[in-house]
Chain A
């Protein structure tokens, strides 16, 4: 599904990623952990195509396609979804209008007919109920005036409507209380299927109690320094990152 090879990237001449390798097979959930500043969010942004980074070496291949050659909306069309760590507030743009534009933007990219208003509203209704998103948030401007938890919930809600093939969750757990965390995890777990994969970026292993990963990777100083089964996360919880990151510096 996703193959990242020897990825090097920098911002304004400052290297952030220094040779990342990662392979995600269909149906797998991979957790990326690591200390602050290790490059976790950069990796998530690069998969989604955020401008402002210079890729100096390496590649990202997604279902056989060169992902780096695609515009962000084309990647979304291919089924990539990024749940933002800091969802952006967009004044004056209605949340549900935006989502309809997204659904139909993706359909158009895939050469499918646009979704009608009634069908769309039914879809939205069923998903809001599942995620427990308050109805009034739907008609507010995108993320504006949302609490931290509401923003994260809104990301998961959008993901459940757009049904991506690759979901990238960038610290979706940060700032969430335990109830909200469960809602987010339920949203992801419901979407888990043999042909859908997830990359879950997180600082704490807490989220991984609810979204059980197939593999855990530790990113430090722009490289993956350790990969292992889910137990690696527990070990990190107990021992911190220092024992792994010292060599990578």
Chain B
């Protein structure tokens, strides 16, 4: 039985919710059934094959027996933790964040205030247009809804952790995060996915809606287990003068596909997308980003860096659309990639669709060897060639890691990057001061 049918039959809809919410979920399921899982015949899935999911018999993950070690520990941050899709109160603490801000689990909101959840779902476009987010919503699954009142500035980052530690084969979970950021509110959200060695599948959905002047820093870390399938959808809606920066870091999983869709819906909105992906031996990592400039005076900046090693395959597809009638659009996009072995593969496609002339748009993609001048410089300082290569390769992605303002996140990223390719591990470990 395939994924869609598994959702339909086994991952039953919650029964205690109002009829309108159930209807919304059922519609989503119907759409998912009609279209089925994406196939490589579809342009957006040209490089990523989900056929393997059709062969697994998915069941929902059971409640955890014990709490495993958290992948990211930030003593100064608020935190919410889910294990196997279940909220773990003991590992959650939102303390003062509740001042001016409502942070609740989706299950709690569905029980107490279902209209709130439903209203958010009705706004999200990808639930209508894409199968995987529709599947996420169709199924039962917990997560978090964060509602920031106007002018509320979260004083510390919020870490939302999803761990799949189920010991059964082929478990499936559908975590979700919804953020509604009121006018001029600010939040730093760190979303991290991790799990054990089993072949689990995470189908995550994150929806960030910003009102005028709101600002969200969103770090999304995929640090899943070596057999995991991670399917993620991030949908970002930007209001007037709102700014969202999204940093996608993919350093785990076997099959990873993350879609990030941004709607710059009102003047002055801006979005920054950064990403690092490490497609190591046995891994397939695919990022698809789409930025829709629907209003004038909107800006987007994007940079993705990827490394493929072993027989890993990395895919990047970035699309920027400047819609008709908009003016003064600025968009940049860069996709830089390295291949560390000749059994690895990188496929990159930096796309532009422009329907207005008042734009400044530059795009670039590179794939290639390391800077020979840098290598010579390091060698001239006494560093052997192989180490010099490892160091510059590490530096290639670390240049982006270094921009993360949180030392714990930086350390996690640097460690996972270094561990992702054997060539990097040695030299980088030797350098730790």
Contact = CB atoms under 8 A, between A and B. Distances in A.
A73 B397 contact: no
Nearest to B401: A92
B383 A102 contact: yes
Interface residues on B, range: 20 to 34
A88 B399 contact: no
Nearest to B402: A92
Nearest to A77: B382
Given A91-B399, A92-B402, A104-B430, A98 B385 contact: no
Nearest to B388: A73
B373 interface: yes
A38 B56 CA distance: 70
B394 A82 contact: no
Interface string B371-410: 1111011111111110110011011111111100000000
A76 B377 contact: no
Contacts of B378: 90, 98, 101-102
Contact of A93 (B372, B384, B391, B433): B391
Nearest to A97: B431
A71 B385 contact: yes
A111 to B, nearest CB: 14
A48 B396 CA distance: 25
Contact of B376 (A72, A100, A105, A142): A72
A97 B402 contact: no
A13 interface: no
B423 interface: no
A96 interface: yes
B391 A98 contact: yes
B399 A101 contact: no
A121 interface: yes
Interface in A160-179: 162
A81 B376 CA distance: 12
Contacts of B398: 92-93
Contacts of B384: 73, 105
A229 B392 CA distance: 43
Interface of A: 48-51, 71-73, 75-77, 81-82, 84, 87-93, 96-106, 109, 117, 120-121, 141-142, 158, 162
The 7 closest A-B pairs by CB, nearest first: A92-B395, A92-B399, A76-B382, A92-B398, A93-B395, A72-B379, A91-B399
13 contacts: A50-B380, A73-B380, A73-B382, A73-B388, A89-B374, A90-B374, A92-B394, A92-B395, A100-B433, A102-B378, A105-B387, A141-B399, A141-B402
